Amino acid sequence: MKKFAIRLLGLAIAFSSVAAFAAQGDIVSVYIQTVSVVTVAFGGHQAGDMEIRILNGFTMPAGGVSCDSNYITTLKANDPDKKLFALLSMAQATKMPVSLRISDDPSLAAVSGRCSLLSVVLGQ
């Protein structure tokens, strides 16, 4: 009986420690409400991080992506030359829809619980 209990405990530990994996997905035809670059570190942000607010939020893409459905935050290191920021700013100014590739990988996110931006396609 003692061996059985030890094996059962081992199985419980093994199944409860299954690692979660980061997911990626596409958000199609959304509009940018705001896009900004943080200039001074505050509230979990570091200077240079980018924050994007999606107008009316977005639907989570298929594939297991899980994050805040209104904001996307990206580390400064993920957009060092500000090309993504420039595309998003243009989309916001012209009210052009965009498609965004996002990831819920915590190592890429500027704020815990938010997805980070991987790419932008204008006009879709």
Rama region for 30: left / alpha / beta (φ>0; ψ in -120 to 50; rest) = beta
Whether 63 has a pLDDT exceeding 90, the answer reads no
> Does 55 reside within a domain?
yes
Tell me: pLDDT of 7 over 50. Answer: no
More confident residue, 98 or 19: 98
Interatomic CA distance for residues 40 and 38, integer angstroms? 6
Domain count, the chain: 1
Specify whether the CB–CB gap between 28 and 75 falls below 8 A: no
Burial of 88 (0-12, 13-18, 19+ CB in 10 A): buried
**CB neighbours of residue 10 within 10 Å:** 10
pLDDT for res 17: 36
Reported confidence tier of residue 35, pLDDT bands at 50, 70, 90: very high
Residue 11 lies in a domain: no
Residue 14 pLDDT > 50, yes or no? no
Average pLDDT over every residue of 94-114: 94
Task: Look at residue 20 in the predicted model and tell me its pLDDT.
Answer: 61
Per-residue pLDDT at 13:
38
Q: Is the pLDDT of residue 118 over 70?
A: yes
Mean pLDDT of the chain: 85
Whether residue 13 lies inside any domain: the answer is: no
Residue 10 has pLDDT above 50, yes or no: no
Q: Is residue 86 part of a domain?
A: yes
pLDDT of residue 68: 96
Which CATH number do you get for residue 102? 2.40.50
**pLDDT at site 9:** 36
Domain that holds residue 75: 20-122
**Is residue 8 one of the residues assigned to a domain?**
no
Residue 72 has pLDDT above 70, yes or no: yes
